[in-house]
């Protein structure tokens, strides 16, 4: 994706109401040439960045009390309508699931006359966030449930979905290698052998792509923006390069094209498993044609 297009998408997100589904619909209509999954990933990343940026102020003691009071007033109102926490999160441009956690903490602090959240209470709240049916107060249970369901970035449901999507795309890369008859080791294999820094896939025999040798593949089921890519380079990719040689990171939902600027240094950026690769044939220079033919037959 061109950097200018990416910047237009980000500006659109910032200018619209804090409503994930609504913003996504606007982007799909405004940028029809971009894949919906790419736009969804960009919205997700932008929401996460804003939540992290404002987390300190949004979770301060003063803000917590203010939020809890607003929540209780809304529940007691004759005009009460389900989705109070979701609406509060929208108005404050924050995470519904994280606001739900704050509401529960304040609720039990008041109920049990506690001034702070104990370790036991934190464990209890984590359990209730995962299963709101365990909350006795039905109004509160419904509000907590809606907050976790409506949060596309945080909360147990969202984390489960993100993990499942990540696994699916990693499997996609592995299946592509298997179709080519290429053997590999995944991060579980490598960690069992004592490696600490492990890519998703380490090839047993490298392949070549556009003249570059690929020893490993890192799968990212998200859009590659500069902030995250710089972080991955620092915390993961250069470590893989140092241990295993040149490799590739795949941002399955696209990336800002300017980020693919380290090819000559040993790290290639792609948005799909490459099609035009050259696979090493260990029998290519063999003097025995029969041996090579047998190898091809066994591979098929």
Residue 300 has pLDDT above 70, yes or no: no
Residue 295 has pLDDT above 50, yes or no: no
Residue 279 has pLDDT above 90, yes or no: no
What 3-state DSSP class applies to 176? helix
What is the overall mean pLDDT for the chain?
91
pLDDT grade for 284, boundaries at 50, 70 and 90: low
Distance CA 152, CA 244 (A): 36
List all residues 6 or more positions away from 54 whose beta carbon is below 8 Å from its beta carbon. Answer: 93, 94
Residue 209 has pLDDT above 50, yes or no: yes
Distance CA 48, CA 155 (A): 12
pLDDT tens, position by position, 71-114: 999 999 999 999 999 999 999 999 999 999 999 999 998 887 77
Residue 289 has pLDDT above 80, yes or no: no
Q: What does pTM read for this prediction?
A: 0.87
Residue boundaries of the structural domains of the chain:
3-150, 172-279
List all residues 6 or more positions away from 9 whose beta carbon is below 8 Å from its beta carbon. Answer: 27, 31, 34, 39, 42
Q: From the options 2.60.40, 3.40.50, 3.40.1350, 1.10.357, give the CATH code of 172-279.
A: 3.40.1350
């Amino acid at each position: 994706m061109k950097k200018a297009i990416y910047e237009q998408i980000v500006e659109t997100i910032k200018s619209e109401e804090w409503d994930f589904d609504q913003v996504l619909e606007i982007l799909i209509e405004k940028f029809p040439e971009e894949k919906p999954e790419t736009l969804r990933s960009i919205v997700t990343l932008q929401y996460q960045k804003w939540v992290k940026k404002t987390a300190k102020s949004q979770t301060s003691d003063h803000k917590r009390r203010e939020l809890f009071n607003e929540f209780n007033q809304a529940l007691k109102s004759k005009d009460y309508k389900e989705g109070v926490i979701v609406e509060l999160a929208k108005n404050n441009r924050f995470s519904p699931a994280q606001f739900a956690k704050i509401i529960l903490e304040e609720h039990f602090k008041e109920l049990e006359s506690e001034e702070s959240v104990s370790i036991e209470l934190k464990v209890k709240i984590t359990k209730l966030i995962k299963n709101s049916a365990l909350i006795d107060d039905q109004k509160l249970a419904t509000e907590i449930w809606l907050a976790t369901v409506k949060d596309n970035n945080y909360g147990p449901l969202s984390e489960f979905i993100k993990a499942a999507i990540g696994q699916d795309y990693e499997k996609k890369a592995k299946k592509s290698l298997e179709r080519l008859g290429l053997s590999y080791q995944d991060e579980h294999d490598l960690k069992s052998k004592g490696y600490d820094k492990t890519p998703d896939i380490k090839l047993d025999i490298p392949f070549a792509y556009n003249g570059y040798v690929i020893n490993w593949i890192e799968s990212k089921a998200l859009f590659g923006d500069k902030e995250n890519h710089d972080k991955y380079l620092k915390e993961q990719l250069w470590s893989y390069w140092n241990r295993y040689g040149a490799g590739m990171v795949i941002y399955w939902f696209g990336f800002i094209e300017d980020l693919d600027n380290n090819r000559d240094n040993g790290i290639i950026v792609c948005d799909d498993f490459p099609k035009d690769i050259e696979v090493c044939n260990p029998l290519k220079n063999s003097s025995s044609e029969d041996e090579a033919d047998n190898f091809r037959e066994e591979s098929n």
